[in-house]
Amino acid sequence: MNGNVVVVVGNPRPGSRTAAVARALGRRVAGDGEVRVIELAELAGELFDPASAAVAEAVDAVRGAAALVVASPTYKATYTGLLKAFLDRFAADALLGIPTVPLMVAGAPHHALAVETSLRPVLVEIGASMPTRGVFVLDADLTDPGAALEAWSTTYLAVLAPAVAARVAARAHPVATEVTA
């Protein structure tokens, strides 16, 4: 796939295992493209500052992505408050047309649906396009998440690729609209 993939990590600890698996998924989605990782833990002190240049730059990077991976550990059966604070920066449909893969990490299998029942709805609300299922990884599998990522990639990368290609093409050749008075 061509184009840049932005990975947003909602773990409150920088350099987390959630970030590592999200980065690995981002590389799979990007193929030959670039991957940029935004660790929200590094922006935590500025997320509630409407004048923060660093947060504004992160928001712009997300809006300009060819594809997104949005990752969070599972806290109390949902994504983190840190991720929610960042996602609240986006108006409804702000991510319209951006192919997005939600990813959640949890300690127990009974949280497997959290990626679909908690993270997916908020991403849909802000316009993200999700042509595939999300990715769920158990904490126990984080030392070697290759099998979980391979299973997802084998099934869903071929589904995601046309959406990313369409996004890249649309950005390269925007449709001009004529406004008449």
Q: Is the pLDDT of residue 54 over 80?
A: yes
CATH topology for 5-172 is: Rossmann fold (3.40.50)
Domain boundaries, the chain: 5-172
Kindly report the pTM of this predicted structure: 0.91
- According to DSSP, residue 35 is labeled E
**Do the Cβ atoms of 115 and 109 come closer than 8 Å?**
no
Put residue 3 in one of left, alpha, beta given phi > 0 → left and psi -120 to 50 → alpha. Answer: left
Confidence of residue 177 (pLDDT cuts 50, 70, 90): low
Tens digit of each residue's pLDDT (9 = 90 or more) over 107-160? 888 888 899 999 999 999 999 999 999 999 887 777 777 788 998 999 999 999
Three-state SS at 105 = strand
pLDDT at residue 56 in the model: 98
pLDDT (mean) for 84-110: 94
pLDDT at residue 1 in the model: 57
Long-range contacts, stretch 91-95, CB < 8 angstroms, 24+ apart: 91/126, 92/125, 92/126, 92/127, 93/126, 93/127, 94/63, 94/126, 94/127, 95/62, 95/63, 95/68, 95/123, 95/126, 95/127, 95/128, 95/129
79 has which bridge partners? none
The residue with tokens 């809006």 is 63
pLDDT at residue 147 in the model: 80
Tens digit of each residue's pLDDT (9 = 90 or more) over 4-20? 999 999 999 999 999 99
pLDDT (mean) for 45-59: 97
Dihedral through CA 26, CA 153, CA 67, CA 24, nearest 10?
0
pLDDT at residue 181 in the model: 53
**Do the Cβ atoms of 126 and 95 come closer than 8 Å?**
yes
Q: Is the pLDDT of residue 106 over 70?
A: yes
| CA angle, residues 9, 84, 65, in degrees to nearest 5 | 50
Tens digit of each residue's pLDDT (9 = 90 or more) over 22-50? 999 999 999 999 999 999 999 999 999 99
